[in-house]
Each structure stands twice: as C-alpha cells, then as structure tokens.
Amino acid sequence: MPTPERTTLDEIVHTASALLETEGVQGVTMQAVAERVGVRAPSLYKRVHSRDRLIQLVAEGSLSELARRLEGVDDPRLLADTLRAFGHERPAAFQLVMSPGAEAQTASAQFGEAASASILRVASALAGPDDALEAARTLTAWAVGFIGMELNGTFKLGGDVQAAWEFGVARIVAAITLD
C-alpha cells in the first residue's frame, strides 16, 4: 500500500513564500519549509529536487501573482501603483523577482514575460509600438528603483515620499508619451 501524501507542491511553495517574507531568502531552507508543512526534510525532495528549484518556484509564483494583479490595467498611473502595492505587500518577493542578485535562482522566462505583458501593453499605448520595449523598461526601471529604495528605507532627506512617487510617475509617463 502506497504511503499517503502529507503535503502538496502548492503547499510547499506557499509555505516557502510565507517564509521568504518573514525570514528572507536565506531563511528559505528545505528544513524550515519541512517543519512548517509537517514533514521531514527528505520528504520535500520528492516534490522539489533542490532548494534552488524551490526558490525558483517561489519566484515564478510571485511573478504569476504580479501578472494577475496587472492584467487588464490600462492606466499607467494605476499600473505603477499596482506594482508599488505588490512591493509593499510582498517586499521580499518583490526584491526576489525585480532585483534577485547573482546568487538567487531566477524564474523561467515565460513568467517574466507574463508579468511584463501589461507593462508592455501600457507602454505601447503611451509611446507607440516601435518604442514600447524602451518605454516599458524606462517605467519599470524607475518604479523598481523607487520601490526598492522605499523598501530599504533609503529615503532619508525627509519630505513626502508619496508626493515624490506621484511626481515621478507623472514625469515618467509624460517622458515616454508620444507628442
């Protein structure tokens, strides 16, 4: 008689995602995830062959969530605000997928493409199809940089960060919009 399954891949990835937010990427270990899902660490290897693969699955799940949030958003300011909200709600996941660093396992390309589809669509509407990629990169780079600084607490000169965000979004949108 086969051994009953004690956990699922979805539960493992969900648990690893939660652990990422509380402990950071270094805290996402097979042992820590196993303890939280109620199995022994070797049992996880039946579902996920390595820690790197687990981190990759977390990144892919995070990008899928971001893609769902951005889907159907046509207003560039709302798109930027949605990206920012994701960063604030899931800061470790945001940094994992937007600035993973050399040591982090990155998501498969199709997940990044799915998350980028709405940004490219909005950028195309603003800048035209010939400049859509450059416009999307400009908007994304500015937003990710701003959000990253915000998450890291590096805005130390005072002032209203929300006002700075609104100023920046307005200027970036104006800069990439066709005349």
- Per-residue pLDDT tens for 83-95? 999 999 999 999 9
Q: Extract the tokens encoding 83.
A: 């990206």
Assigned architecture for domain 62-176: Orthogonal Bundle (1.10)
Domain locations in the chain? 1-49, 62-176
Token pair 């699922």 is found at 8
Q: What is the 8-class DSSP label of residue 27?
A: G
Instruction: Report how far residue 141's alpha carbon sits from residue 13's, in angstroms, rounded to the nearest whole number.
Output: 28
Q: Extract the tokens encoding 162.
A: 């929300």
| 3-state secondary structure labels for all residues of 123-143 | HHHHHCHHHHHHHHHHHHHHH
Instruction: Report how far residue 31's alpha carbon sits from residue 42's, in angstroms, rounded to the nearest whole number.
Output: 9
Assigned architecture for domain 1-49: Orthogonal Bundle (1.10)
Instruction: Report how far residue 130's alpha carbon sits from residue 133's, in angstroms, rounded to the nearest whole number.
Output: 8
Indicate whether 4 pLDDT > 50: no
In three-state secondary structure terms, 157 is: coil
- Per-residue pLDDT tens for 107-126? 878 888 899 999 999 999 99
Band (pLDDT 50/70/90 cuts) for residue 1 is: very low
In three-state secondary structure terms, 11 is: helix
